[in-house]
Amino acid sequence: MIAPLIPYAIKGAIWYQGESNAGRAEQYRTLFPDMIRCWRRDWGQGDFTFLAVQLAPFQAAKAQPADSTWAELREAQLRATQVLPNVGLAVITDVGDAKDIHPKWKKPVGERLALAARAIAYGEKNEFSGPIYSRLEIKGDQAILHFDHACQGLEARGGELKGFAVCGEDKKFLWAKAEIVGATVAVSSPEVAQPVAVRYGWADFPEVNLWSKDGLPASPFRTDNFPMITTPK
């Protein structure tokens, strides 16, 4: 379907897909970047801008932290921006619909894609990404999270931070208290004396509210790479 288009010039691409690959995130981690590489090779116009839309929240929210195939797919989408040049990602954790896989609120999606296009394709000096987790620092009973794309600062929208879970050596994630401390987020739980890992928005339908002061939402993430635990039906 793409081959007939290759003789024509291209400036960039927008990719809004991933729902049908949920459950195969490990494959998507390499398949998606490889597809971008192939398009760029076939068109022969260099590393043209490629913009993706991260999966929107979908299905019922869960009361307790749990594994999520949709969260793993979002992580795989984010990875493409980290291994390839000129790839942007529109995070849309705030526009999901638990009962509609194609949420109707498209305006923020287009606005965030436009910000990325202006920066990546046209070289404007604007911030086009919300906070992206960069590293974890353990200080006593607190996990300190550092972020890229947060130069103007972090903010919690609509009250205290939510959507953070923490675990100890037992790898059992529990909802955690999180607060913004300068350019970082400090995460802790009275039930986890020695934190090992943190997850944020790690759910099919993440309920989250960490944003940058530039007005863009943070991408969901995990600091661990624990294998998913499958529960027999």
Task: Specify the pTM.
Answer: 0.93
Rounded mean pLDDT of 55-79?
Answer: 95
Q: How many beta carbons lie within 10 A of that of residue 82, not counting itself?
A: 11
Q: What is the mean pLDDT of the chain?
A: 94
Q: Where in the chain is the domain with CATH 3.40.50.1110?
A: 3-120
CATH H-level, domain 3-120: superfamily:
SGNH hydrolase (3.40.50.1110)
**Rounded (10°) angle between helices 69-83 and 25-43:** 30
220 and 206 Cβ atoms separated by less than 8 Å: yes
Residue partners of 230: CB distance under 8 A and separation at least 6: none
- The phi, psi pair for 6, rounded to 5°, reads -65, -30
Tokens of 150: 């947060």
The string of pLDDT tens digits covering residues 85-126 is 999 999 999 999 999 999 999 999 999 999 999 999 999 999
Per-residue pLDDT at 7: 87
Residue partners of 74: CB distance under 8 A and separation at least 6: 18, 54, 55, 219, 220
